[in-house]
Structure 1
Amino acid sequence: MEGIHEALTPISWLSGRWSTKDGHGTYPNISDFKYHEDIEFICIGQPMYNFSSLSKHPEKQTPMHQERGFLRIKPGTNELAFMVSHNFGLTSHEEGTCDVEKKEIVLETVTINRMSFAKPPVVKKFKRIMKLVMPDTLEVTLFMETENTPLSEHLKAVYKKVEG
């Protein structure tokens, strides 16, 4: 675990770059869609990961969505906080825990802030589940609630670890 803060030991499996070519999006009031995405969890010596994601259209390879943020662990615990800025005009603060044995993280919204001119509908809640299903395979599922739709699965993808 060279280069990773010791507090991140319970979630050290998350470290690095992950990529999917088979992301699937769905939501009650939109057509299903596919996406490619790269996500990255990098430690720079602090008890947190710097996080980034970039999703692209699978055919055109044009950007679809971006996120930047920080996944912080409360040292000596399995408690996590995830602060994320989304390029469509909101920031989310999610908190939750990691199950060390299952290698699973579950986070839920604490607060969401939104810019005054972000397009509707208003996002009210996220639930995010990240699970290591094999040493080189990460599954991420995102649930979303808006002012028009109850909490529903929105995104699901299986990522492969990118070496190097």
Structure 2
Amino acid sequence: MKVNEALQPISWLAGRWSTKEGHGSYPNINDFSYHEDLEFICIGQPMFNFLSLSKHPEKQTPMHQERGFLRIKPGTNELAFVVSHNFGLTSLEEGTCDPEKKEIVLETVNVNRMSFAKPPVVKKFKRIIKLIAPDVLEVTLFMETDNTELAQHLKAVYKKVDE
């Protein structure tokens, strides 16, 4: 996949990724597993179009979906990640990438939710995306709600499916 020149510091992210099983936990819920497919596709602009589809590992029923854009400020390592979640939330996360470590760290700048989204209210995310081998990606998501301090919520290792 050809990516915009501005995306070179994070070009390793391009393509489709899949995990057999991710793990979720949070202080007030039972631990769970999930299967997830990620997609970071460049259509020529200085950003990746992002898609995440999660489903139950046994039943294959949908669990969660995210769509958005991971944008880089050209000539820098500064990133902005705009994400829309299917449970009625949009988030703007900003951060940086470390091209040497092949790691991205993003934290919430803004969260908005629809008026009838179910509680608890999500207040913050922290997302760490890192390439741990040439075709292996690890994503860790931390979450804070109005009931719980920032805590690890999701962690998964993905294998590159294709470019």
TM-score range, shorter chain: over 0.9
TM-score by length of 1: 0.98
Q: Name the counterpart of 1:19.
A: 18
* Correspondence for 1:72: 71
Amino acid at match of 2:90: T
Residues 127-158 of structure 1: CA deviation (Å, up to 9, x unaligned): 00000000000000000000000000000000
- Stretches of structure 2 lacking an aligned partner (at least 5 in a row): none
* 1:15-54 → structure 2 map (5 Å cutoff): 15-54=14-53
Distance between the aligned counterparts of 1:39 and 1:163, measured in 2?
11
Question: Which aligned runs of 4 or more in structure 1 are off by greater than 4 angstroms?
Answer: none
**Root mean square deviation of aligned Cα:** 0.7
The size of the alignment, in residue pairs, is 163
Partner of 2:7: 8
Matched ranges for 1:78-157 at <5 A: 78-157=77-156
Counterparts of 2:113 and 2:47, CA distance in 1: 24
TM superposition score normalised by structure 2: 0.99
Q: Distance in 2 between matches of 1:64 and 1:39?
A: 14
Q: Secondary structure at the match of 2:3?
A: coil
Task: Write the letter of the residue equivalent to 2:85.
Answer: H
Q: Shift of residue 22 of structure 1?
A: 1.4
